Amino acid sequence: MDKFYITTPIYYVNDEPHLGHAYTTVLADTLARYHRLFGEEVFFLTGLDEHGQKVQEAAERRGVPPQQHCDEMAGRFLDLWRKLGISHDDFLRTTQERHQRAVQMLLGLLYEKGEIYKAPYEGWYCIPDERFWTEKDLADGRCPECGRSVVRLSEDNYFFRMGRHQEWLVHYIEDHPDFILPEARRNEILGFLRKPLGDLCISRPKFRLSWGIPLPFDPDYVTYVWVDALTNYISAIGVFEDEARFRKWWPADFHFIGKDILTTHAVYWPTMLHAAGIELPRHIFAHGWWLVDERKMSKSRGNVVRPLELIEKYGPDAFRYFLMRDMAPGQDSSFSEEALVGRYNSDLANDLGNLLSRVVRMIGQYTGGRLPGPDSEDLTDRELREETLRAVGRVRRHVEALRLDFALEEAIEIARRTNRYLERTAPWRLYKEGRRERVGTVLYYAGEVLRILGDLLGPVMPRKAGDLKSQLDICSGGAWDERIRWGVLKPGTEVPGGPPLFPRVRPEVPKQGVAGKALITIEDFQKLDLRMAEVVSAEPVPGTQKLLHLEVDIGGERRQLVAGLAKHYRPEELVGKSVVVVVNLKPTRIRGIESQGMLLAADDGESLTLLTPDRKVRPGAKVR
């Protein structure tokens, strides 16, 4: 059995999990599940990066000890992963003993090999990023990575001789074209490596940062957080403690990361491994970013998307589906709730959910709630069978090429095709014509497609795929080849059915319109009955400065209105004017007079102008 070892970055615990964390984790989870489905033995690792300045500061801000802060944040991440149905095999936290031991062993090994030396270090340090920069690295005197200000620091530190592995690394990347994926990222790293590669400062003096793993050869220092974090990929599988286990899983097949952390993974990590005499991971895949309003999410911009709210509204599986369907891995993609709702309604509710409900309903109506058996296959049936099986092959190839967006489009196209098949074969007509065998074949064929779709979509939507299968009482399992055969369903099985798989959701109306006004729907607007009216008479309301008492003709019917127009119009000016009236307003008494409607006028704060038509219209005409 082939093995497949896949990892996500380990996330910082200085912030709540957001859409970006959820994306990488769902991506890795989906691939882990596909590879299990394809019959491979999978080890899927995720976890948390718990040391370093940012975490120490986050804990300080909250006034709790760092470990307590980490434990609480770990609970949040794990809670989200549980809700999202993440099927990790291990959850590594860098504060765990097993990890700390491995980091110290690795550093000890590198130290003994002469790969680490002590030297004074002076440089520009970005506190939030915990990185030193040289003068020429800076962008306008600021951190080239995050743009924030840097401070000048000088101190003794330990260095890893990274620079001496530069040439080797360039050759390695050139000889292994699929080591760094996609290609654009590989070129980016090769470009980066055209400049001389310096050595890497791997320590932080304890007086400045205590929240870290002590260096095994100098207890006055803790390990630089990236050296600590990267080691997770080997500490989790027992690098220095369980040789058999390590041999079984290493090298990792895929490190999935976002493009923001490419250099650390594609330069620091390979050189560290090489120096320690450990094989490199097979592939590093850097995906793009989810952008919100065309920009990267960030707390300061206030555009951070929190997955929990979306999961509550649309369910974890629809959210997973959207993330996998709407990003071409490697490129950036825009996130919006409207796009999510659009996908949900079109692909999941209309195409997939609808197919299942139709088939289940027809089995209930035409074949007594039991799955019918197929009769002879005609050309349309054959086309459906062959097309479906061909598409299954394409789905698998897309998954293997990491194009989950294509894989899902292909899978939903299978559902669409089957809906068209039902339109063409029209079992409802066949039933009326008494052609029971044909009804049986068509429903059996549609059932088979649904069974296969349950398997194909399971890695992306594990719970909904389970619901789909239980509605048809399918307990499929077993090897991939067995699942994608045609004719697995057992005729005669009772089909229990169930509620709609994806009940349609209404697109959420933006809460505010112009100047903070609540938005209304077209139905709301249509509640107003607006009519053209002609003013028949007008006179002041006695005892008031502002009010006029008008009589208007709204087309064969007269209405009296009280309007606050006296400051803007003289009564005689109004007689004969064509105006717009809300005629279905509940009457109200003003100064003892019943006002039976309301005139429309424009108010610019200074004067009031009645709305009148620019051509003659008869009273009673509807205003739309």
* Interface positions, 48-87, toward ligand MSP (CB under 6 A): 49
Please tell me whether residue 289 binds ligand MSP under the rule CB under 6 A: yes
Please tell me whether residue 132 binds ligand MSP under the rule CB under 6 A: no
Q: Which two tokens stand for residue 410?
A: 């292909």
> Total residues at the site for ligand MSP (CB under 6 A)?
20
Contact 30, 77 (CB under 8 A): no
How many Å is the Cα radius of gyration of the chain?
34
Q: Which two tokens stand for residue 422?
A: 């039902």
The amino acid at residue 314 is Y
Q: Which is nearer to ligand MSP, 225 or 581 (CB)?
A: 225
Give start and end residues of each alpha helix (H) in 326-378: 337-343, 354-366
Contact 552, 581 (CB under 8 A): yes
Among the listed residues 4, 5, 12, 319, the single contact to ligand MSP using CB under 6 A: 12
Q: Which is nearer to ligand MSP, 20 or 619 (CB)?
A: 20
| Region of 84-92, 228-236, 543-551, 609-617 interacting with ligand MSP (CB under 6 A) | 228-236
The amino acid at residue 295 is R
Longest CA span, the chain: 104
Q: Which residues contact 194 (CB under 8 A, 6 or more apart)?
A: none
| Region of 7-15, 376-384, 421-429, 445-453 interacting with ligand MSP (CB under 6 A) | 7-15
- Residue 102 C-beta: closest distance to ligand MSP, Å: 13
Q: Which is nearer to ligand MSP, 62 or 485 (CB)?
A: 62
Among the listed residues 26, 102, 126, 257, the single contact to ligand MSP using CB under 6 A: 257
Q: Which is nearer to ligand MSP, 69 or 451 (CB)?
A: 69
- Residue 165 C-beta: closest distance to ligand MSP, Å: 19
Q: Which residues contact 20 (CB under 8 A, 6 or more apart)?
A: 258, 289, 290, 297
Please tell me whether residue 297 binds ligand MSP under the rule CB under 6 A: yes
How far apart CA 214 and CA 222 sit, in angstroms, is 4
* Interface positions, 414-453, toward ligand MSP (CB under 6 A): none
Q: Which two tokens stand for residue 240?
A: 């220095």
Please tell me whether residue 223 binds ligand MSP under the rule CB under 6 A: no
User: How far lies 31's CA from each of 9, 315, 380, in Å?
Assistant: 15, 20, 34
How far apart CA 30 and CA 470 sit, in angstroms, is 21
Among the listed residues 4, 11, 344, 444, the single contact to ligand MSP using CB under 6 A: 11
| Beta carbons within 10 angstroms of residue 107's beta carbon | 28
Among the listed residues 4, 5, 6, 20, the single contact to ligand MSP using CB under 6 A: 20
Please tell me whether residue 229 binds ligand MSP under the rule CB under 6 A: yes
| Region of 5-13, 177-185, 210-218, 528-536 interacting with ligand MSP (CB under 6 A) | 5-13
| Region of 6-14, 73-81, 347-355, 559-567 interacting with ligand MSP (CB under 6 A) | 6-14
251 upstream amide cis, omega within 30 of 0: yes
Which among 372, 509, 390 is positioned nearest to 436, based on CA atoms?
372
- Residue 294 C-beta: closest distance to ligand MSP, Å: 12
Q: Which residue has the tokens 């009031």?
A: 608
Among the listed residues 4, 5, 6, 9, the single contact to ligand MSP using CB under 6 A: 9
- Give the residues lining the site for ligand MSP (CB under 6 A): 9-12, 20-21, 23-24, 49, 229-230, 232, 257-258, 260-261, 289-290, 296-297
